Amino acid sequence: MMLADEPIAVLCIVLISMLPLALAGLALLNTGLGRSRSASQSLMGAMLAVSVAAVIFCVIGFSFAGFQGMTSYSLSLGSARLDWIGATGMFFGGLHWDGSLPGYAAAFEVFAVGLAAIIPWGSGADRWRLRAVGMASVLIGGLLFPLFAHWVWGGGWLASLGSSFQIGAGFVDPGGAATIQAFGGLTALVVVWLLGPRSGKFSGSSVPRAIPGHHMIFVLLGCMLMLPGWLAFNLLGATLYAGTTPQMLVPVAINTLFCAAMALMAALFITRIRFGKPDVSLCANGWVAGLVTSSAVAAFATPAEAMIAGTLIGGALPWLVELLEVHARIDDPSGAIVVHGFAGIWGLFAVGFMGSFPPGQMLAQLIGIGTLLGVMLPLIYGCFWLLNKVFPFRTSPEGEQVGMDLHELGAGAYPEFVIYGDDFLPR
Amino acid sequence: MMSGMTTLTLQIRMAGLALLIAGWLVLLFAVILLASPALRYVFVIVGLLVELLGLGMVGLHHRFETGGRA
């Protein structure tokens, strides 16, 4: 195994210690965008999802995910060889904690799987049971995430499209736009489909009722916390999976900020034009969508390209959220389907226009996107559909009425304040 | 009538999921069997379009389940 030299080792340790900020920021954002009557359950569920996914990933997940050069199973089709799943030992078996890159990759992926597990949690806010979230995190950490992570980060068939089939440099995703973000966004879509909308969201009218987030300070503070966390994901991912040297990491960092900044400003501009005043939750989601896009593009784009990519996703976000809610009748309180799913896929597509890759990079990116939609989405759907039969996802109507805090935890998040007459909804 | 409609939307969901997988198989075999970059692009884009059709059909099923018109 290739050993990291000392500056890279120090850099990796510092960046690994910053990764939890992204998880904390997203958990706060999800909580703020949900209802006050479910705030404790939201944060508790995020901690549960991270804990379960990380532990299961250590027990069994990393043995499937692996790292380039480690043992794996492959399928031979004629002269083609498709490396499809890792085959290392459980409990990080096969890893040597001697400063080699797979050790840092394992640490990176422990936090990555936690982030992927939190993303759908925000979409199921106010109605998804804790027990079901725990079981869903077992599936995410033990099977679904590791499988795709092996294909992209573990030297699997998507990563080796370049060497096996002369298609660009293979599918590239150093910051996790596919493996964490689009994967999480598609999982959120499945969860929202299986759970259905919150009660009262679509009843009695063709226009969905607005159920505003209860705490915009949490939302905006979460966004600010996410920036250093995302910098860590993008910088560490570029170091581990794109071979970027420490000297070349500065553009990755500034591209991350520029992408988010332009997406925020574009969302602010569009909502100002459409509604007369900027919409805080859509602007916050624009910021996060910019960060998600940066996960794909930051390692390869020029600053101008990063700004354009951010502007386009930030400007499109308000329309996409409306399209899903009004036309597809999808109730996604945190906006994760657009913010993580669509923005992640957009970033992966945009990479096809950037960087100095061998010919065919756009084709490699399209194959990666097609694999997310054509393999991961049906697989997630099938697994979660079965799980929902065994451990019903949705709480009872009474539970939804009193709020998930009282129903599942026995106490509210804000016991000394009367803060909900009925959270803007007539009963 | 309602039961017939439910059966229909369930069939739409199954067809949608099948199309998602079929679209991926199209692009996978385009990569394995074809050598020409142009042909690979064409078939990969066709595979993606089939997947989008499948995604739309699964979404249609769930739209009906939430009370929208299928």
A228 touches chain B (CB under 8 A): no
- Whole-angstrom Cα distance, residue A167 to residue B37? 9
Please answer yes or no on whether A378 and B20 come within 8 Å at the CB atom: yes
Q: How far is CA A44 from CA A55, A84, A196, B17, in A?
A: 17, 35, 22, 33
Please answer yes or no on whether B40 and A363 come within 8 Å at the CB atom: yes
Q: List the alpha helices (DSSP H) in A98-215.
A: 101-123, 130-139, 145-153, 161-165, 183-195
At the fourth CATH level, the homologous superfamily of domain A30-68+105-196+233-411 is Ammonium transporter AmtB like domains (1.10.3430.10)
Please answer yes or no on whether A193 and B23 come within 8 Å at the CB atom: no
ipTM of the complex: 0.94
- Whole-angstrom Cα distance, residue B1 to residue B7? 10
Please answer yes or no on whether A363 and B32 come within 8 Å at the CB atom: no
> Average pLDDT of B11-27?
97
All residues of chain A having their beta carbon less than 8 Å from the beta carbon of residue B62 are: 193, 329-330
For residue B49, give the chain A residue with the closest CA: A370
A369 touches chain B (CB under 8 A): yes
Tell me whether residue A402 is exposed, middle or buried, using C-beta atoms within 10 angstroms of its C-beta: 0 to 12, 13 to 18, 19 or more.
middle
All residues of chain B having their beta carbon less than 8 Å from the beta carbon of residue A381 are: 17, 58
The residue ranking higher by pLDDT, B1 or B29, is B29
> Average pLDDT of B3-7?
74
Q: Give me A167's structure tokens.
A: 């298609």
- Domain boundaries of chain A, sorted by first residue: 30-68+105-196+233-411
Q: Which 23-62 residues of chain B touch chain A by CB within 8 A?
A: 23-25, 27, 31-32, 37, 40-41, 44-45, 47-48, 51-52, 55, 58-59, 62
- Whole-angstrom Cα distance, residue A257 to residue A166? 33
Q: How far is CA B21 from CA A23, A161, A200, A378, B50, in A?
A: 32, 20, 35, 7, 9
Quickly state the pLDDT bin for A338 (edges 50, 70, 90): very high
What secondary structure does DSSP assign to A188-219, as a single string?
HHHHHHHH-PPTTSSTTSSSPPP---S-HHHH
Quickly state the pLDDT bin for A207 (edges 50, 70, 90): confident
Closest in A78, A363, A374 to B41, CB measured: A363
Contact, A349 vs A215, CB < 8 A?
A: no
Please answer yes or no on whether B31 and A367 come within 8 Å at the CB atom: yes
3-class DSSP state of A74: strand
Q: Which 150-169 residues of chain A touch chain B by CB within 8 A?
A: 161, 165, 167
Q: How far is CA A48 from CA A121, A188, A337, A344, B31, in A?
A: 10, 17, 21, 25, 40
For residue A382, give the chain B residue with the closest CA: B17
Separation of CA B55 from chain center: 5
Please answer yes or no on whether B37 and A196 come within 8 Å at the CB atom: no
User: B69 to chain A, minimum CA–CA distance in Å?
Assistant: 10
User: B2 to chain A, minimum CA–CA distance in Å?
Assistant: 19
Phi-psi region of A92 (alpha: psi -120 to 50; beta: other; left: phi over 0): left
> Average pLDDT of A52-71?
95
Q: Which pLDDT tens digit goes with each residue over A160-204?
A: 999 999 999 999 999 999 999 999 999 999 999 999 999 989 876
Amino acid B9: pLDDT: 86
Amino acid A206: pLDDT: 67
